[in-house]
Homo-oligomer: A and B are copies of this chain.
């Protein structure tokens, strides 16, 4: 969905492609274009389609906890020496657009749902990474992105926000039909959550500028995979435009 408000609010199965503005970015105009070769793009042309924010969405904010920001706005290679698991500069770069995303969602009365984890999970980990002793607040949501008191926080032990959690029940009870996904890491919990969301039948948007990873290669290839198979990877300005339109629409209604 590239700027065309009208299309955004339509039933996903019957879409009006002509209504879209002529200048919309290409389906492949994303961060992966400098590493994916022309042959691969050709092979993947069967996935080309109009992208859009789905009907009755919620924002799903994956693992935006302090640990990802430790060591500050510096290269991952530097912060990693002291703070294993930090995403360094990639995390900090995504902070302002993620704040904008949450603000727009709240104006549009779109629920913002967070995931994080407990510090102690009895030996069940989300990946194979060795983890030493950690500060008590590492899995608190970063203050600049903190949930409001009435917003849902899902505690998980595995990569996917759906595995071993009641997330699907909350989404079903709130009649959420699509997700706007952001957070970290692209190749870990964001990918696993998005694949599960697709399996459960949701239309998914992953916001490119609001996801990040420690490895740029994994970040780009995972966004490429997600975009073609399980989600519409969209740019933040297009998602914000949609949410602003929805805010107006819901105020009128």
Q: Report which A residues bind B (CB closer than 8 A).
A: 35-37, 39-40, 42-44, 46-47, 49, 76-77, 80, 84-85, 121-124, 127-131, 152, 156-160, 163-173, 175, 177, 187-188, 192, 195-196, 198-202, 214-215, 217-218, 221-222, 224-225, 228-230
B217 touches A35 (CB 8 A): yes
**How many chain copies?**
4
Q: Which of B77, B122, B130 contacts A43 (CB 8 A)?
A: B77
Q: Which of B84, B187, B200 contacts A225 (CB 8 A)?
A: B187
Q: Give CA–CA (A157, B159) in the complex, Å.
A: 20
Q: Which of B124, B128, B221 contacts A229 (CB 8 A)?
A: B128
> Besides the contacts A47-B127, A172-B202, what 18 more A-B pairs have beta carbons closer than 8 Å?
A40-B214, A47-B128, A49-B128, A49-B130, A122-B152, A123-B173, A124-B173, A129-B228, A129-B229, A157-B169, A159-B198, A159-B199, A159-B229, A168-B168, A170-B201, A172-B172, A188-B229, A195-B195
